[in-house]
Structure 1
Amino acid sequence: MYYSADIGVIGGSGLYELGKEVKKIEVDTPYGKPSDEVSLLKVGAKTIAFIPRHGKEHTLNPSEINYRANIHALKSLGVKAVVSPCCVGSLKFAMKPGDFVVTDQFINLTSGRKDTFFEKPKVNHLSSAHPYDDKLRVLAIEAAKECGIPVHDGGTVMVINGPRFSTVAESRMFALLGADVVNMTQYPEGYLCLEQEIPVVNIALITDYDAGLEGHPDIKPVTNDEVIRVLNENAEKVKALIFKFVEKFEV
């Protein structure tokens, strides 16, 4: 049976489903299996294809995710855009836990990940100067504001291997390099969308202040418990923002 979808959503930590009324399908790709089954759900006249990035039981650490399979699966379903929500640690005092950031740039510090579809015999060199789609970013920011969610327009995400959190020295270095937030999964996910010619937008929930901030000794380094607490407090906001975005997106 042939299935199709209008928009792909790849859920990060704490976002393992978007709804209960879904059709779950297995999708095979030349790159292996995606992180989990793909859930198809209707939002008005549109169909979302949802994949939990870490698997539905959060069994995949950031470097174990089969990013190519996830993106290829969404491409095979015909999605016209990908929404890539994730959790981030802030490197700027003004970007507070509970805020959202619609990033516009990334810096990749990961290693060892399969990060291209362009392997022999087809090798290509693609510009990633502007990795996130500006039109989708505008929609995401408008959606956040309409939902009453504090949102920052633009920001650079530093992508690290994980699963460990940063040292204080690393966090300081990331800020000096011009990053605003830190994450473990935006690369190669966003770039692979570019290779497949799928516009992508990153909507990031700030859960913590990474390893603390210079000049703010009262701000303690991130802990997993703190991340989970902020996630739980904002889980419904993430879903509301995604659904509002989908409502505004024109297929």
Structure 2
Amino acid sequence: MTGTTMIGVIGGSGLYEIDGLENASWQRVETPWGDPSDEILTGTLGGVPMAFLPRHGRGHVWSPSTVPYRANIDALKRLGVTDIFSVSACGSFRENMAPGDFVIVDQFIDRTIAREKSFFGPGCVAHVSVAHPTCERLGAHAAAAAREAGANVHEGGTYLAMEGPQFSTLAESKLYRDVWGCDVIGMTNMPEAKLAREAEICYASVAMVTDYDSWHPDHGEVDISEIIATLGANVAHARDLVAALPGRLGGERDLCNHGCDRALDHAIMTAPGARDPARVAMLDAVAGRVLG
């Protein structure tokens, strides 16, 4: 064993708390990247440390484009989170991925354009691989936990990350579905997944289907009232999913067999003598393992 498991849950639309968390307290975490979306709820669940961060803030105050993604991932890393489960709402491009279903995402197409997507930059350049942007190990646990919770689960799917906050046009929806072959669409998993990889945290994406976007001839445009109604049912399953995670992951942790927790081993390109001390200082939590 190499260390202690700490589960991080990033809750999206509809999921704003964790039931049954023991010794729970909200705490403010300072980061070099600004304040996270909210304070972070920490405690233990099933004997395993857990941290919960509401992605949009309590009361849903952050839009998809303004969520402080870098601060969120940095804060979770500072708390000791080793495994992140991202829970978010999504639209579906597939008839069989119906509203109420859960999709365990394993690929992304990132169409966001207004967000900071890396912790690295001038003064300390790094390139991590996101060929496989989610952790297969965590995805398997999420799928099993979702089935135990009673959800209809699809393992594997490509998530189109759009900027938002508006939903897709009909032409865009058809492009993403028919030409690009995407399975679901959402606004929040990018750059979240990329940043988790840079921070060497295993990451799984649980996408809860709320609608058929605008491509479906029998559903027309996205109806926010229908989305909210479907979210209510999804959240009950999501809470049960989260409750099952500690028992599946356990309290002790080996190295990730997919290398997520060693993503920076060969990623940093800037020579030690050329690194900007200010940038390196900002990377103390994210990349301290390799920067010393």
Q: Determine if the TM-score, normalized by the shorter chain, exceeds 0.5.
A: yes
2:117 is aligned with 1:115: yes
In structure 2, distance between residues paired with 1:239 and 1:19: 7
Pair 1:55-2:64 in alignment: no
- In structure 2, what is the Cα distance between the partners aligned to 1:19 and 1:28? 25
Q: CA deviation at 1:182?
A: 0.2
Q: Which runs of 5+ in 1 are unaligned?
A: none
Return the offset for 1:41: 2.6
CA contact (8 A) 1:100 1:152 kept: yes
Checking the alignment, whether the CA contact within 8 Å between 1:5 and 1:77 is kept in structure 2 is no
Question: Structure 1 residue 246: deviation in Å?
Answer: 2.8
Q: Percent identity?
A: 43
SS in 2 for 1:85: strand
Contact 1:106 1:157 in 2 (8 A): yes
Contact 2:20–2:45 (CA<8 Å) still a contact in 1? no
Report 1:141-180 matches (<5 A).
Answer: 141-175=143-177, 176-180=179-183
CA displacement at 1:247 relative to structure 2: 2.1
Where structure 2 has 5 or more consecutive residues not aligned to the other structure, the ranges are: 253-292
Residue in 1 that maps onto 2:185: 182
Q: Deviations over 1:152-171 (max 9, x none)?
A: 01000000011111111000
Structure 2 equivalent of residue 211 of structure 1: 214
Equivalent residue of 2:50, what SS?
strand
AA of the residue aligned to 1:192: L
User: Alpha-carbon deviation of 1:140?
Assistant: 1.1
- Cα distance in 1 for partners of 2:150, 2:233 equals 15
TM score, norm. by length of structure 1:
0.94
Query: Measured at CA, do residues 14 and 73 of structure 1 come closer, stay the same or move farther in structure 2, by a change above 3 Å?
Result: same
The offset of 1:59, in angstroms, is 0.7
Distance (whole Å) between structure 2 residues aligned to residue 199 and residue 56 of structure 1 = 25
Distance 1:82 1:136 in 2: 8
Give the letter aligned to residue 134 of structure 2.
Answer: Y
Return the match for 1:77 from 79, 83, 88: 79
- State the distance in 2 between where 1:233 and 1:58 align: 19
Amino acid at match of 2:231: L
CA deviations 1:116-154 (Å, max 9, x no partner) are 011121101111100000111111111122222100010
Following the alignment from structure 2 to structure 1, what is the Cα–Cα distance between the partners of residues 82 and 75?
13
Mapped contact 2:5–2:249 kept (Cα < 8 A) = no
**1:19 Cα deviation after fit:** 3.1
> Could you say what the CA RMSD is over the residues aligned between the two structures, in angstroms?
1.4
Matched with 2:31 is 29
- Does structure 2 retain, via aligned residues, the 8 Å contact 1:12–1:85? yes
Which secondary structure does the structure 1 equivalent of 2:168 belong to? coil
Distance 1:58 1:163 in 2: 13
Quick one: distance in 2 between partners of 1:14 and 1:56?
10
2:127 corresponds, among 98, 108, 125, to 125
- The residue number in structure 2 matching 1:241 is 241
Return the alpha-carbon distance in structure 2 between the equivalents of residues 5 and 52 of structure 1.
Answer: 20
For residue 220 of structure 1, report the CA deviation from its aligned partner: 2.5
Please say if 1:88 is aligned against 2:106.
no
Higher mean Cα deviation, 167-176 or 137-146? 137-146
Q: CA deviation at 1:20?
A: 7.0
